Amino acid sequence: MILSDYDIRTYQERGALEISPYSRNQINPASYDVRLGETIRTFPPSNEPLDLRDLTPHTKVSVIPDEGWVLEPGDFLLGTTEERVYIPEDMVCMVNGKSSLGRLGILVHVTAGYVDPGFEGEITLEISNLLPRPVILYKGMRIAQLVFAKMASAPGGGYHIKGRYQGQEGPTESRYTLDER
């Protein structure tokens, strides 16, 4: 069951779902808008292959200046939500791009559009520009929307037990090497 605007408000007011900072103005009929945080991670140009077995830090952290960050055509960066969320154990969350930005060629998640039950932290966004021209991103702009769905039952082990991104702050690099082989 997808939560409606009424459900999102009710869960937030009861403290079962936590979004911080929270604003009723960011609630849509069946989603909640989140804003782009101030820090991003970019991938410095390199011709060296990225070895997925050894993911030593490979990104550069930057702060989006007041005049915005120019995202060139084909560029990719990691952003973060300004909001910190706590997803209850019996709920999941999907991160969707804003259709207004999608119609301009801006993607906000490449494959990681799913937030597990029990997750707590800021959400890392995978942002890319498909336009043939640069786009300026601003901190605080509405960048994505969260859709919450109630599960039939809570899982046997929530994200707080197995999740490698639990409690993340800011755009977080891949932790792929922690996957079981």
Check 18, 120, 126, 173 and give the catalytic one. Answer: 126
Q: Is 39 helix (H, G, I), strand (E, B) or coil?
A: strand
List the alpha helices (DSSP H) in 24-178.
Answer: 99-102, 159-162
**126 flagged as catalytic:** yes
- Cross-strand partners of 97: 144
Count H helices and E strands in the chain, helices first: 3, 13
Task: Give the SS3 label for residue 14.
Answer: helix
**Residues β-bridged to residue 181:** none
Amino acid identity of residue 73, one-letter, is: P
How many CB atoms are closer than 10 A to CB 49? 6
| Greatest alpha-carbon span in the chain | 51
- The b-or-e profile of 159-181 (16+ CB within 10 A means b, else e) is beeebebeebebbbbbeeeeeee
Catalytic residues: 126
